[in-house]
Homo-oligomer: A and B are copies of this chain.
């Protein structure tokens, strides 16, 4: 039987501080170490740092770009997808993964968190958004305290679901 690839998205802003980039790069490294494919929005910031990390460990990286030019991907994207649909591609980033790791917080990241939760795709958060409604926190976002823990949670959740016959 053919082994199925595992897909994990890393989402986060395109313009972030160096500590956030370090976090993203380590997440990318961990994803590659687990043999999973990294899915992202293909641009700079968190996306580029995560791809750089995965690429350094020989991992496969997919960049789902807002523009219609494949060459706009960051240099660590191996499979660029030129959607041409702008930020509407955020839905595709979330739904093309089996788990999403959200880092830090731009509004674009928040759209991706919400699309993932809408689609029943687990979201693991590292220093990212909290959401609540009428003072009651929505606890759907699973908190992780390190890149290693975030990726381990993602991989476990995916394997649990696969064994339940996703």
Contacts and interface: CB of A to CB of B under 8 A. Distances in A.
Contact of A79 (B69, B79, B110): B79
Interface string A1-25: 0000101000000000000000000
**Listed residue (A37, A69, A82, A88) with the most chain B CB atoms within 10 angstroms of its CB:** A88
Give this chain's copy count. 4
B118 A128 contact: no
Contacts of A118: 87, 106-108, 111
23 contacts: A37-B79, A62-B79, A68-B87, A68-B119, A70-B95, A79-B79, A80-B96, A81-B96, A82-B96, A83-B92, A83-B96, A84-B85, A85-B85, A85-B92, A86-B91, A87-B118, A107-B114, A110-B110, A111-B114, A127-B133, A127-B134, A128-B133, A129-B133
Given A7-B70, A80-B96, 9 more contacts: A68-B119, A71-B166, A83-B96, A84-B85, A84-B88, A88-B89, A107-B115, A114-B114, A130-B133
A78 interface: yes
A144 interface: no
A75 to B, nearest CB: 8
Interface in A55-72: 62, 64, 68-71
Contact of A5 (B78, B104, B117): B78
Nearest to A140: B107
B84 A95 contact: yes
A115 B106 CA distance: 11
